[in-house]
Structure 1
Amino acid sequence: MPKSKPSKKKSESSDSDSGPEDRGPAKKQKVESSEENSWSLGKHRFVKLTEFKGKWYVNIREYYDSDGELKPGKKGIMLTMEQWYKFKEIVPELEDAIKKNV
């Protein structure tokens, strides 16, 4: 008997599109540990250039404190290089919208 796929429903009450609320640490991934490719955004949030399975990503992630050591959490986004370049293209439009609305 084939298994049915669970339905994918978006929670409208979430203030983030990061998926369900964190229920603990993310599963471990082999991530480049060099701080050379890491920039702090404050409040335990970082932008890191990481290599995973032979491909490079821009990883924007929230970290949590585990016994004095910062570890990556589930909240975040990992952009492919294609997505990163597309994001960079829209930044000027985003900045204009921010100036008009904020």
Structure 2
Amino acid sequence: MPNDKKEGGRSSSDRDEGPVDRNKPPEKKAKMKSKTNRKEPTWVLQGKKLVKIQEFKKKVYIDIREFYEKNGEMFPSNKGISLTPDVWTKLLSLRDEINEAVRSLC
């Protein structure tokens, strides 16, 4: 029968600090939410195409994006654009010209 005693007359269990759980459950990742936990202003354009006002790295963006649903939650897709307030204002100033160009093509 093997001897459980190690050098110095102590067994390996004398040095144990207790049981070690080698299969710890994975930590749950926090869901991506606004850092301030404020609800972002959101408008539905059509279906899952939304306009949101978002803050990212202390800057405000107007985000026009298509979302998708996974496990009952909505997530942003890569299909979209984020505009700074300056670019958004410029786009709005071009509204009449853009509308006229669209009407001429229809």
Give the aligned residue type for 1:56: V
> Which 4+ runs in 1 deviate beyond 3 A?
28-33
Q: Deviations over 1:30-83 (max 9, x none)?
A: 547615x10001121100111111111100011011011111111110001111
Structure possessing the higher radius of gyration over alpha carbons: 2
Distance 2:54 2:72 in 1: 23
TM-score (norm 1): 0.64
Match of residue 66 from structure 2: 62
Q: Which runs of 5+ in 2 are unaligned?
A: 1-30
Equivalent residues of 1:30, 1:52 under 8 A apart: no
Percent identity for Structure 1 against Structure 2: 38
Bigger relative contact order, structure 1 or 2 (CA pairs below 8 A, ≥6 apart): 1
TM-score (norm 2): 0.62
2:78 match: secondary structure: strand
Are 1:48 and 2:34 matched, yes or no? Answer: no
When the two structures are aligned, how many residues end up with a matched partner? 74
Q: Which runs of 5+ in 1 are unaligned?
A: 1-27
The offset of 1:99, in angstroms, is 1.5
